[in-house]
Amino acid sequence: MDDMYRDYILDHYKNPRNFGELEGATHTYHDSNPLCGDEMTMQLKIDDGHVRDVHFVGKGCAISQASASILTEEVKGKTLDEVKAIDRDHVLANLGIPISPARVKCALLGLKALKGAAWGLTAWPGEEVKAK
């Protein structure tokens, strides 16, 4: 069973969905994981409280990029409340394989960027604004 999920992750890594700049984005958030060097910018087009479109750009490991790709497919059309309800456990379950403690931040980078964009944050509370 793990092989199927590994193939799924590799497919999303090699062929990320919704990758690239989103023209007309209404909400954008950039973040990075300084421990491993992963970086990500999530861009949303929000209209009438719904995510009409979502794209991401970034670089990083297979886990961070695949996790973001999977998330972007999932959130299109959802309300902001539905997006804000997505949690850590949901994202880790989407990956389908055990994630070591050292890789959890990689897996959750997309979620953090997504929520930062959905809430219209420029930085997480207690953190400095991150330069792109």
What percentage of the chain has pLDDT greater than the value 70? 91
* Percent of the chain whose pLDDT exceeds 90: 78
Average pLDDT over residues 8-18: 95
Given pLDDT bands bounded at 50, 70 and 90, which one contains residue 6? confident
Q: Bridge partners of 30?
A: 41
Q: Which pLDDT value is given to residue 124?
A: 66
Of 17-21, 32-36, 79-83, 110-114, the range with the lowest mean pLDDT is 32-36
CA distance 70 to 116: 17
DSSP H or E segment with residue 10? helix 2-14
Report which of residues 5 and 129 the model is more confident about. 5
Burial class (CB in 10 A: 0-12, 13-18, 19+), 66: buried
The amino acid occupying position 91 is: V
CA–CA gap between residue 129 and residue 132 (Å, rounded): 9
Q: Is 55 helix (H, G, I), strand (E, B) or coil?
A: strand
Per-residue confidence at 43, pLDDT binned at 50, 70, 90? very high
Instruction: Quickly name the fold that domain 2-118 has.
Output: Sufe protein. Chain: A (3.90.1010)
